A = this chain, B = another copy of it.
Amino acid sequence: MAHAIVEYTDNLGPEADIKGLLVEIAKTMAETDGIFPVGGIRVRAIKLEDYVVADGAADDAFVNIEVRMAAGRPEVFKEQFFDALFEMAKTHFAPIAAKRFFALSMYVQDLPAQSYKQNNIHTRFA
């Protein structure tokens, strides 16, 4: 079970290809030999329309990725996997970061202990 939420400022425009990023994140998670079961992958975007970045003086843009997953993945896996995921995100936005003020961030944490789930999507991959 893995959740990713991608917040992005709407001044990025279509060049940011947010849908493409969501597809890449989901695909990267799916290619982990079952460490992230495919049926549990849920990646979504939130478009931000109202924001103030830094001193508010420039057309600054940002993308913030929050990842939450059930506890229990080995620390060494998490470090390697998310290092690679962030490299992928940096590559995705490299053309944008090369020409405008842009901040990219990603935060990874475990889901709370008190969790509930029901999911029939897993049956498609059983």
A107 to B26, CA, bound (A): 21
Minimum CB–CB distance from A49 to chain B (whole Å) comes to 8
Which residues on A are within 8 Å of B, measured CB to CB? 1, 3, 7, 9, 18-19, 22-23, 25-26, 30, 38-56, 58, 60, 62, 64, 68, 78-79, 82-83, 86, 90, 97, 101-109, 111-112, 114-121, 124-125
Q: Let me know if A118 and B103 touch, CB within 8 A.
A: yes
A26→B55 contact, CB < 8 A: yes
CB-defined contacts of A102 to chain B, threshold 8 Å: 119-121
Q: Is the CB of A121 within 8 A of B53?
A: yes
B44–A51 touching, CB < 8 Å: yes
